[in-house]
Structure formats: C-alpha cells, structure tokens
Amino acid sequence: MPTVIEPKLIAGNANKPLANAIARRMSLYRGGAVGLVDARVERFNDQEIFVEVYENVRGEDMYILQPTSNPANDNLMELLIMADALRRSSAARITAVIPYFGYARQDRRTKARTPITSKLVANMIHEAGVERVLTMDLHAAQIQGFFDIPVDNLYASPIFALDIQHQFKDSLQDVMVISPDVGGVARARELAKRINAPLAIVDKRREKPGEIAEMTVIGDVTGKKCIIVDDICDTAGTLCKAAEVLMDHGATEVHAYITHGVLSGPAVERVTKSVMKSLVITDSIAATDPVAAAPNIRILPTAPIFAQAILNIWNGTSVSSLFETDVLGPIYEGIL
C-alpha cells in the first residue's frame, strides 16, 4: 500500500464555505496548497444522491467535511454515500468531520416507545466505512460512547473565551456567565472558569414541549453583563425569554454565545426583536441569508480549530491540546 503523504479533504453540499475555509487554513499551516478533492455530489430527478470522486484516493488519509444540519436527512445520506464511495475506492482511512452532529438531541429515551436516534446514526456512520469522527460540542457527551470508533469532540468554549476577553476587555469584572437551564451548568461553568467570571442559572419549567411555564434566576445578576452560553439555538424562544428575565432581574446587558445556530422558523426575527444585545454563533452550520443579515447576530469561524485538529489527527498528535486557550490563542490571533 502506498505511504500516506498528505491529508485529503472532500466536502458535501452542507457547508461548502466552511469546507473551503478549512482547506485555506490547512494550506496556511502547511505552507502549501491543500484543496478539496475533485468530486461531484448531486441528486437525480427523484432526489437520489449520487457521488463520483474524480481523483485517485487509493491508500490516502481522507477527511469528509459534512455537518448533518438542515436538511438533516439529505446531508446525512451525502455523508454516508461519500464514505462508501471512498471505502470502495480503497482509501486507507476515512475520517468524518461533522461540525454539527444532527440527531444529537435524540440521545436517550424520554418516553416509552421512542428511539435513540443518535445511536442509530452512529451505527450507520460506522457501517458506511468511517473510522474516526471529528465533531464539535456534542449535545450530550455520552454520544461518544454510541460509536465503536474514536470520536474527537472539540469544544467551542475556548473560542468563546478568547472572543469574550477581546470584546469585554474593559469590563470583564462585570461579566457573568449564565446557563439557560440546569442541564447546561457544566458547559457554562467551563466557560466561566476560563474567563474567571461568576456563574448564574436560569431554571425553566415547561408545561409541554415548546412552551415555557416559568423561569427563575438562581444567582444575583444585578448590574452584570450577562452572557448566556449553550450548545444549540433552534427557535430561540427559550433564549429570548431568558434574556428578558435577566433584564427584569437587573442585568445591564444580555449577550448569548451559542455553538450551533440552527435558527429555524421565527428564530431570526425573535433574536432581532429581543432585548439581547448580541447573539454570537459559530459557522458549524452554514448561515442563511436572514442570519447573515441580522444586525445583532455575529458568526465566529471554526475553520482554524478544525484545520489544526485534522492536521493533529493526521500527524498522530494530541487533539485535546486544542482545548487550552494558550494553544488556541495563536491559532486565532488576528481573527477575533
């Protein structure tokens, strides 16, 4: 088998701008051109997905760049079919780079006779020929255990910490990190530790899915610049309501840092009209035109951390080193 010389990238249609950005960053790090493998990923008239790879990938270390965001089913099938095409083309190793892992919210049985779809998707990815998964901020940490292959889960909190330290450099002493629910306390605490800020919680109770009965603030937010941190923002109902409650309890400003901006339905309109001063998301999901045009939504790049993580996997060096702000700082220098 030929020696693996360079990592090769191939992208589906889910987030081409991010795929191109990752290739550009890898070119910068490597000091030579790193491009996307020439391939076509298209649909027949009946919406069947077809993949054809135009370059030789025999014995190569392949990285498929494809978040499984909306439309989740189409993007997931693209990922699976690309993996099968590469496996049948004798690629030496196939790594799925999934910035946003769809179906992650179906990670357990909440009621009788419901599926654990995250596990089903994990099985499908493995069976398609993927040998490693690289993702960011899984909705639940146990999803890593659903796979029988290595899973590297990157975190957005070091990127958020760098951005907060830059944006609030003159008033860091007034910043307070907020968890929008009890289940997200660990994530919020991690960010709070990184920026040396206090922590508060908004406890919400639902009468039924999609409706929030009441919210209680646990902690004193009076005079604070509150930063709500979470992994997913879908319709933004909870987020905007939490911002209102925090302002009612004496907060001077409310900002939100969310890893995956799903932002479906009325989300953009709600965020635009809300009391939140800013919503910061990453580009793990391709931004729609309304998201890109929203005046109080800002997008942070993930290409630098993904490019470095891919190179670390290829080199056989530590991926967890990217969890440290000291390591990530130089990678994001001049970007944030």
Reported as a pLDDT band with limits 50, 70 and 90, residue 33 is confident
Give the span between the Cα atoms of 2 and 25, in whole angstroms: 26
Check the annotation: does 46 bind a ligand. Answer: yes
The active-site residue out of 8, 111, 119, 204 is 204
The predicted pLDDT at position 3 comes to 55
Question: Letter for the amino acid at 88?
Answer: R
For residues 65 and 95, the answer to whether their CB atoms sit within 8 Å is: no
Q: Is 170 marked within a binding site?
A: no
Q: Is 204 a catalytic residue?
A: yes
Is 105 known as a binding-site position?
yes
Task: Tell me whether residue 48 is annotated as binding.
Answer: yes
Provide the residue type at 317 as one letter.
Answer: T
Structure tokens given for 2? 């030929």
Residues 38-60: what's their mean pLDDT? Answer: 96
Residue position matching structure tokens 């950005």: 21
Residues for the chain: how many in total?
A: 336
Instruction: Tell me the pLDDT tens digit for each residue of 112-137.
Output: 999 999 999 999 999 999 999 999 99
255 labeled binding residue: no
What is the pTM assigned to this prediction? 0.94
- Residue 317 annotated as lining a ligand binding site: no
Which of 255, 176, 276 has its CA nearest to residue 219? 176
Quick one: pLDDT band at residue 31, thresholds 50, 70, 90? confident
Task: Assign 3-class secondary structure to 46-74.
Answer: CCCEEEEECCCCCCCEEEEECCCCCCHHH
pLDDT tens per residue, range 186-239: 999 999 999 999 999 998 776 665 556 688 999 999 999 999 999 999 999 989
Neighbours of 336 (CB within 10 A): 16
Task: Give helix 303-315 / helix 16-30 axis angle, nearest 10°.
Answer: 60
Q: In whole numbers, what is the pLDDT of the chain averaged over residues?
A: 94
Amino acid (one-letter) located at 217: V
Q: Which domains does the chain have, with CATH numbers?
A: 7-155+303-331 (3.40.50.2020), 157-300 (3.40.50.2020)
pLDDT > 90 fraction of the chain, expressed in percent and rounded? 88
Q: How far are the Cα atoms of 21, 23, 37, 281, 304 from residue 28, in angstroms, in the given order?
A: 11, 9, 18, 24, 10
pLDDT confidence band for 2 (50 / 70 / 90): very low
pLDDT value at residue 298? 97
Instruction: Say which residue the tokens 């309109």 belong to.
Output: 269
Q: What is the average per-residue pLDDT within 100-106?
A: 96
Digit-coded pLDDT (tens) for 134-174: 999 999 989 999 999 999 999 999 999 999 999 999 999 99
Sequence-ordered list of residues with C-beta below 8 angstroms from that of 153, at least 6 positions apart, any chain: 135, 136, 137, 138, 141, 144
Supply 215's token pair. Answer: 């919210």
pLDDT at 4: 46
Measured distance CA(163)–CA(308) in Å, rounded: 19
Instruction: State yes or no: 66 annotated in a binding site.
Output: no
Please tell me the predicted confidence (pLDDT) of residue 6: 83
Q: Do the annotations mark residue 206 as ligand-binding?
A: yes
Does residue 36 register a pLDDT over 50?
Answer: yes
- Give the residue among 114, 217, 166 at the shortest CA–CA distance from 333: 166
Instruction: Find out whether 209 and 231 touch, Cβ atoms under 8 Å.
Output: no
